[in-house]
Amino acid sequence: MNFFLETLQVMLLSIWYNLESFVYMFIPSKRKNISGEVVLITGAGSGIGRLMAQEFARLGTVVVLWDINQHGMKETARLAQEEGAVKVHYYICDCSDKAEVYKLADQVKREVGDVTILVNNAGIVTGKKFMDSPDTLIEKTMEVNTMAHFWTYKAFLPAMMANNHGHLVSIASSAGLIGLPGLADYCASKFAAVGFAESIGLELMGLGKDGVKTTIVCPYFINTGMFDGAQTKWPTVMPILDPAYVAKKIIKAVLTNQTYLLLPRSMYLLAAFKNATYSSWKLYGLIGVYLGIYENFSSPQAPHRKLH
């Protein structure tokens, strides 16, 4: 292999791909038809999970709901049915339990069919600083926010690969791109979720499974109750996000095969700037102070965070 020629090729293609991405920012992307697809959403009993279920239902899909909250799922199922879902199924599932995930996955395959769109949305936040976090809650955070993705992929990805058709959606967080004080276990779990989704996406690409798409969602704080009391220093630049807005953006990203969805749009700039500050920890800290990140998690009025 010729080092010079391959390096030149990479440089030229990098310029081309960047120009292509820039142009597509101003050209509406063609949306795919997912009517009849089987969509499974974890953490579907409330919040973003419920809203996504309603959005997918409007597109004529078969909706499968997983959550530990049966009452919440019943309500989500009712709303999704009203929105036009072909059919709605719901199952009580603790996604942190590998055996339960595999057992229910087999049940879904028998009763519904192969899942073609998998949305890993279930998540928890302990809301304690690292040294105050009980080991059990740290372990639970990793199990729900990260390990559950391993088990659901193991269960549903083989059929997608066999048919070279499907979509994997990881609802991660901006905390999976930028570390935040007071959220050590949460950040670790979301960084891991992002890395896992990226790795699997590249693995599928290498195997020629270009029909199986990946979408990684990294939003800032969403007003769902998970981060009650969270505030933003500059609401115009970094607003607390409206759940309905986020749900619609996620569905659009799936329909247009968008690999990364960062919300708000300023997160793209912040993530890029963070990567440029690796050589200066002080500069990284300065940006955190400027954006008011530390105020949310260091003051006596720090937001109350809870499991969901």
Q: Kindly report the CATH number assigned to the domain that includes residue 39.
A: 3.40.50.720
Asked if residue 141 belongs to a domain, the reply is yes
* Amino acid identity, position 250: I
Reported as a single tens digit per residue, the pLDDT across 168-225 is 999 999 999 988 888 999 999 999 999 999 999 999 999 999 999 999 999 988 887 6
Which pLDDT score, from 0 to 100, does residue 304 have? 43
- Distance (Å, whole) CA 165 – CA 151: 19
**Residues whose CB falls within 8 Å of the CB of residue 137, separated by 6 or more in sequence, listed in order:** 126, 128, 185
| DSSP H/E element including 42 | strand 38-42
Read off the pTM: 0.87
pLDDT at 305 over 60: no
Asked if residue 97 belongs to a domain, the reply is yes
Asked if residue 69 belongs to a domain, the reply is yes
Per-residue pLDDT, averaged over 74-83, amounts to: 97
Q: Are 102 and 113 in contact (CB under 8 A)?
A: no
Out of 90, 91, 186, 220, which one is annotated catalytic? Answer: 186
The better pLDDT of the pair 261, 277 is held by 261
Residue 24 annotated as catalytic: no
| Terminal-residue alpha carbon distance, the chain | 53
In DSSP terms, 67 is beta-bridged to 92
Asked if residue 111 belongs to a domain, the reply is yes
Dig out the tokens for 234 from the structure: 């500059």
For the chain, how big is the Rg over CA atoms in Å?
20
**Four-point Cα dihedral 279, 285, 287, 288, nearest 10:** 140
Cβ neighbours of 230 (radius 10 Å): 18
Asked if residue 165 belongs to a domain, the reply is yes
Backbone angles phi, psi at 174, to 5 degrees: -60, -25
Asked if residue 263 belongs to a domain, the reply is yes
Asked if residue 25 belongs to a domain, the reply is no
Domain of 267 in residue numbering reads as 31-305
